[in-house]
Amino acid sequence: MAPNQVDNLSAVLYKKDDLRMEQRPIPTPGPQQLLVKIHTVGICGSDVHYLTHGAIGSFIVKAPLVLGHETAGVVEEVGDQVKGFSVGDRVALEPGVPCRRCYHCKLGTYNLCPDMGFFATPPFDGSLTRFVVHDADFCFKLPDHVTFEEGALLEPLSVGVHTVRRAGVKIGQKALILGSGPIGILTLLVSKAAGASAVVITDIDDGRLAMAKELGADYTINVRGKSIQQVKDEITACLGQPPHVSMECTGVATSVETAILTTLSGGTIVLVGLGADRADLPMVEAAIREVDIRGVFRYANCYPTAIELVASKKVDLSKLTRAHYTLEETPEAFKRAQKADVIKVFINCEKKD
Ligand code: NAD
Ligand code: ZN
Q: Are residues 46 and 137 in the same domain?
A: yes
Residue 98 lies in a domain: yes
Q: 55-56 and 59-60 as β-strands: parallel, antiparallel, unpaired?
A: antiparallel
Do the domain assignments include residue 105?
yes
Spacing, Cα 252 to ligand 1 middle (Å): 8
Asked whether this complex has an ipTM greater than 0.85, the answer is yes
Whether residues 169 and 283 fall in one domain: yes
Whether residue 338 sits in one domain with residue 228: no
Give the total number of structural domains in the chain. Answer: 2
The answer to whether residue 244 sits within a structural domain is yes
Cα separation of 291 and 265, whole Å? Answer: 6
pLDDT tens digits, one per residue of 222-240: 999 999 999 999 999 999 9
Of residues 184, 249, 192, 187, the one with CA closest to residue 216: 192
- Let me know: does 202 contact 257? Beta carbons within 8 Å: no
C-alpha distances out from residue 167 to 260, 300, 317, Å: 14, 15, 22
pLDDT at 41 (0 to 100) = 98
- CATH of residue 16's domain is 3.90.180.10
Do 259 and 185 lie in a common domain? yes
Domain presence at residue 192: yes
Task: Give which of 220, 283, 291, 294 is closest to 262, Cα–Cα.
Answer: 291
For ligand 1, say whether the CB of 254 is within 6 Å of any of its atoms: yes
Beta bridge partners of 18: 15
- Does ligand 1 lie within 6 Å of residue 272's CB atom? yes
CATH number for the domain spanning 177: value is: 3.40.50.720
Residues 240 and 288 in one domain: yes
Provide the domain limits for residue 74. Answer: 9-141+321-348
**323 pLDDT exceeds 70?**
yes
Residue nearest to atom 7 of ligand 1 (CA): 179
Q: What percent of the chain has pLDDT over 70?
A: 99
Same domain for 179 and 268? Answer: yes
Euclidean distance between CA atoms 6 and 25, whole angstroms = 8
Q: Do 127 and 220 sit in the same domain of this protein?
A: no
Ligand nearest to C-alpha 299: 1
Q: Which amino acid is at 284?
A: V
Query: Does residue 181 belong to any structural domain of this protein?
Result: yes
pLDDT band, residue 5 (cuts 50/70/90):
low
Nearest CA to ligand 1 atom 2: 181
Q: Judge if 179 and 66 occupy the same domain.
A: no
- What global pTM score does this model have? 0.97
The answer to whether residue 146 sits within a structural domain is: no
Q: How many CB atoms are located within 10 Å of the residue 158 CB?
A: 27
Residue 310: inside a domain, yes or no?
A: no
Using most ligand atoms within 8 A of CB, pick from 111, 157, 234, 250 the residue to mutate for ligand 1. 250
Residues 6 or more apart whose Cβ sits within 8 Å of residue 292: 267, 268, 269
Local confidence band at 6 (pLDDT 50, 70, 90 cut-offs): confident
Domain assignment of residue 109, yes or no: yes
| Chain-centre distance for alpha carbon 4 | 34
Q: Which amino acid is at 138?
A: F
- Residues with a beta carbon under 5 angstroms from ion ligand 2: 98-99, 102, 105, 113
* Closest ligand to Cα 106: 2
